[in-house]
A = this chain, B = another copy of it.
Amino acid sequence: MKIIVDAYGGDNAPQEIVKGAVNAVKENDGFKVVLVGKVEEIEALVKENEYCGDRIEIIDARDVITNDDVPTEAIRRKKESSLVCAFRALNTDPEAVALISAGSSGAVLTGGMLLVKRIKGVVRAALAPMLPTVKGGFVILCDCGANADCKPHQLVQFAHFGRAMATAYMGIQNPKIGLLSNGTEDKKGNELSTQAFALLKEEKGLNFLGNMEAREILSGDYDVVVADGFSGNIALKGCEGTALAFMTILKNSIMAGGLRAKIGYLLMKPVFKVVKKTLDYNDHGGAVLVGLQKIVIKSHGSSKAKSISASIMQAVTLHNRGIIDEVTKALTVENPVESTEA
């Protein structure tokens, strides 16, 4: 089994990406990592991180896609970029099961959509991060940005994607699914969500609990939250922004709070570390682009070695627990859906 890693994607590439890959193979067995990018630089970094085994391969790629590139053009034209070369390896190497990149979200999404085959029946793939909940578990938010405009039946597929991920990755047999809306009542929602609600109510194989508010996302009362990519993205970024705002206000108040506050802070430092670790969903891996025949994971742009390592292990686990089969089964056996879009 090989995990293909775009070594030149993200704010801390290639140093932290290579370090994360080396740590992953040093600390775990059962897979190889293929690093894609400038071979001489990657070789030097692998050496620097004191790895000399045979579980890291390198594919040379001389170009890089940046956040300034227009995603569709970049994927089509920058054929020698680390990301496009990584997708090529994912498609051609029979041992390759997953691709990981911390690069431009748009490019990773576009690459996944254009270059990787969809599972039969899938209309469009969706991006699904796992967020930590107050109960200590995780909730899968699907879609969080791959599809700004959706049709109601796509949201039904997103529910299946989320269910499959919750089952394959978190081992939950009958995950609780909520539909993100502007209220909890059955009739709440916009045109899209109310139509999706009606379909989800009738769909087989889903433990659909009904409408839920963004307030409940992190509550732990749901295993899967279904949303169109626009709303899901707003929910995700809203959560991120508030956590950040909370930390800033806390820091300012400590600074203004005199000696007492500062001593209190020093004593509470381990507590804050736990809180930060709990809320920092990047430590648990990246967002999975679900619905494709191979696993594609988008790591956060600011990923350090730890996040990359976590994303690699996430890919290994998802593969070992048969995520692709779970999605395929959901769409083809229980709920046959014909693909209606190119």
Contact = CB atoms under 8 A, between A and B. Distances in A.
Contacts of A235: 214, 234-235, 238
A115 interface: no
Contacts of A243: 242, 246
Given A149-B190, A182-B229, A230-B182, A271 B245 contact: no
Interface residues of A, number: 64
A207 interface: no
Contacts of A238: 214-215, 217, 234-235, 238-239, 242
Given A213-B237, A214-B235, A216-B241, A264 B261 contact: no
Interface string A263-299: 1111111110011001100000000000000000000
Q: Of residues A106, A183, A239, A268, which shows the largest number of chain B Cβ atoms within 10 Å of its Cβ? A: A268
B241 A253 contact: no
A339 B261 CA distance: 55
Interface string A154-189: 000000000000000000000000001111000011
Contacts of A246: 242-243, 246, 275, 279
Q: Give the number of times this chain occurs in the complex, counting copies.
A: 2
A327 B153 CA distance: 40
A148 interface: yes
Ranked nearest first, the 8 interchain pairs of A and B with the lowest CB-CB distance are: A264-B267, A238-B238, A264-B268, A214-B237, A214-B238, A215-B241, A182-B233, A242-B242
Interface of A: 106, 133-134, 145, 148-149, 180-183, 188-191, 193, 213-219, 227-231, 233-246, 248-250, 252-254, 256-257, 260-261, 263-271, 274-275, 278-279
